Copies of this chain bind each other. A is one copy, B any other.
């Protein structure tokens, strides 16, 4: 991983469908070398995958909420972690220090949809408390952080 790799990652972060040839122009490297470096970052796992960013509102998913969750006991952790994976409306989940144990990001199409997720989480026996916040506005929501390219 050198500066050239970071430049490539920076290009792909902006647009993952960029052709290798346009990246090669931007960073002054041959097309084959660009492809070779991308393949290496893919196989080493630095690049985990490529995905789309969609406009959730245009897909009808306008309701976003943050839910904090506390478990009764750490023994429920593994089961809760698995449970989370089975609900598509729960798009993010972090296990963290503090009063609560988890923070969840929930995206649904309506208050009814949110209620469903709310019952889904509160219905699990290991949950002792939750606190839900409505997201009024998403100011930033980036996927990846690419280290800054150092000047040579």
Contact = CB atoms under 8 A, between A and B. Distances in A.
A49 interface: yes
A46 B55 contact: yes
Contacts of A9: 52, 54
Interface residues of A, number: 62
B144 A84 contact: no
A48 to B, nearest CB: 4
A125 B135 CA distance: 24
Interface in A107-152: 107, 109, 131, 133-148
A93 to B, nearest CB: 4
B13 A138 contact: no
B12 A51 contact: yes
